Structure 1
Amino acid sequence: MAVVPVRLLLLIVGVVAQYVGITPPNVHPPNEQLREQRGLERSLDLVLVTLRILLWSWAFIEGSILFALSGYCPPAFARPFLHLPTNLTSDPTELTPAFLTGIVLTLAGALLRVSCYRALGKHFTFQLSIRPTHALVTDGVYGIIRHPSYTGFMMHTVGYLFCVLDRQGPIVSVCTGLLDGSGTGHTTVTRVWACVWATGLYLIYALMFGRMNKEDEMLQKNIGEEWRAWVKRVPYRLLPGVY
């Protein structure tokens, strides 16, 4: 149980990184500067709110379990958690490879997103827009791939999945013990949990890839030759040498 504070601290760090990655760095641009939103784009604000709710809910539940199992928790708070299932097949407080991989991906993705926020400054908005002072940024991470903020987003959402779907993590372990008296229901719990998240990510990534195409169309239309020269110099959109 001595390792509980470490996992709890990493959980907090991961949640902060996730929050940074899904929080707009700038205010909503004026309506006259917005591109017409269609299809899934119209639900962007709802998607962001849903992600935050899921993020904080997961963090609160998992953090509460970890804190209750630590030696730092007041007895009155820990008492309800003393009745957790006793048939768990793993220790939910362990630092597992899946959890550590998830935290690393989350941090790396968030750092990449922050570097994009700084590179674009006031021009980085979650809504598609072209401002009168818009200038094409082609150095830094934008000199390696053309859509690094989306790469960062994919990294920290996949990292989030590694943490949430960790078979030895508090939520999956406890749900397994509650739903399966034999303590061998990891597969069922993990599959259901994975299907829920896979559906959500499919919708988010569908929106993301659609936005990438529209961003390129907007830049080509408004910046023209400079954008085409950049595309020739930086042909990859998300992953150098691959895509």
Structure 2
Amino acid sequence: MATQTFRFVLIFIVVGVQVGLAVLGMGGLAFFFSHPPLEALAIVGCVLLVASMFSEGNLNPGEREDRANRWVLVAFGSILLLISYLPPYTDRMEFWTIDGEITRWIGVTLFAIGGALRLWPVFVLGRRFSGLVAIQPNHKLVTSGIYSVVRNPSYLGLLITTLGWVLAFRSSVGVLITACLIPPLLARIHAEEAMLRSQFGSEFDSYCAHTSRLIPGLY
């Protein structure tokens, strides 16, 4: 129960900081909600937040953890702060923006798709889904469903939802910041796959032979 409460508090803090910075960047609630696509963005965000409350994702180090990879969490956190504030700010200042409400709606659509893809694996893995690179008790290699196509669907979802967020604010600067997610994301993926290979050996190698790491058919 204590772990679950901590997870809820952490989620609300992260979301609260992100929303607060976005509103600050847009110059206040009135300016933020003056655009229908941003109203839709807020609604989608609330739906994803509520859905995440029913998942069992955690920060459990499990039976074995690669602690050397924890720096990635700091990198993700730093990029999250930038991505929360700068795109709304550049939107308000009309600095290097991608013109058109269509861009905003494309962003909202990608945000929704990416958010769903981000959460889907969390529900599939349940307690085995950790924000840390770790092997959990009774850890099993999941190779069915979305995992039969791509080995890291949640990270693909993270990239898509982040790109959607910045496009909702028409931000070219945000697109560049989104690209900054790729190096730490790849570092996390390589660390996780090394951990899984050490745990499952040839079973994991066989799984890798017919699946993509991040983008189906490309990588």
TM-score computed with the length of structure 1 as normaliser: 0.61
Larger radius of gyration: 1
Q: Distance in 2 between matches of 1:95 and 1:21?
A: 31
> Are residues 218 and 8 of structure 1, via their aligned partners in 2, closer, same or farther at CA, if it must alter by over 3 Å?
closer
Q: Distance in 2 between matches of 1:30 and 1:43?
A: 15
- Residue 163 of structure 2 aligns to which amino acid in structure 1? V
Query: RMSD of aligned C-alpha atoms?
Result: 3.7
The residue that corresponds to 1:222 in the other structure is: 199
In structure 2, which of residues 36, 46, 71 is the aligned counterpart of residue 16 of structure 1? 46
Structure 2, unaligned stretches of length 5 or more? 1-32
> Are residues 12 and 103 of structure 1, via their aligned partners in 2, closer, same or farther at CA, if it must alter by over 3 Å?
same
- Residue 28 of structure 1 aligns to which amino acid in structure 2? L
> Are residues 116 and 52 of structure 1, via their aligned partners in 2, closer, same or farther at CA, if it must alter by over 3 Å?
farther
More displaced, 102-111 or 44-53? 44-53
Structure 1, unaligned stretches of length 5 or more? 66-84, 89-93, 167-189
State the 1:8 CA deviation.
4.4
- Kindly indicate whether residue 80 of structure 2 is the aligned counterpart of residue 51 of structure 1: yes
Contact kept, 8 Å, 1:21 with 1:113, in 2: the verdict is no
Q: Distance in 2 between matches of 1:226 and 1:51?
A: 35
Q: Secondary structure at the match of 1:37?
A: helix
- Residue 103 of structure 2 aligns to which amino acid in structure 1? A
Contact kept, 8 Å, 1:123 with 1:134, in 2: the verdict is yes
TM-score computed with the length of structure 2 as normaliser: 0.67
Q: Distance in 2 between matches of 1:208 and 1:20?
A: 25
- The percentage of counterpart residues that share the same residue type is 23
Q: Structure 2 matches for 1:88-107, cutoff 5 A? A: 96-107=101-112
In structure 2, which of residues 211, 215, 218 is the aligned counterpart of residue 239 of structure 1? 215
> Are residues 199 and 97 of structure 1, via their aligned partners in 2, closer, same or farther at CA, if it must alter by over 3 Å?
closer
Q: Distance in 2 between matches of 1:20 and 1:205?
A: 27
Q: Structure 2 matches for 1:154-233, cutoff 5 A? A: 154-165=159-170, 194=173, 197=174, 200-233=177-210
> Are residues 47 and 144 of structure 1, via their aligned partners in 2, closer, same or farther at CA, if it must alter by over 3 Å?
closer
> Are residues 32 and 221 of structure 1, via their aligned partners in 2, closer, same or farther at CA, if it must alter by over 3 Å?
closer
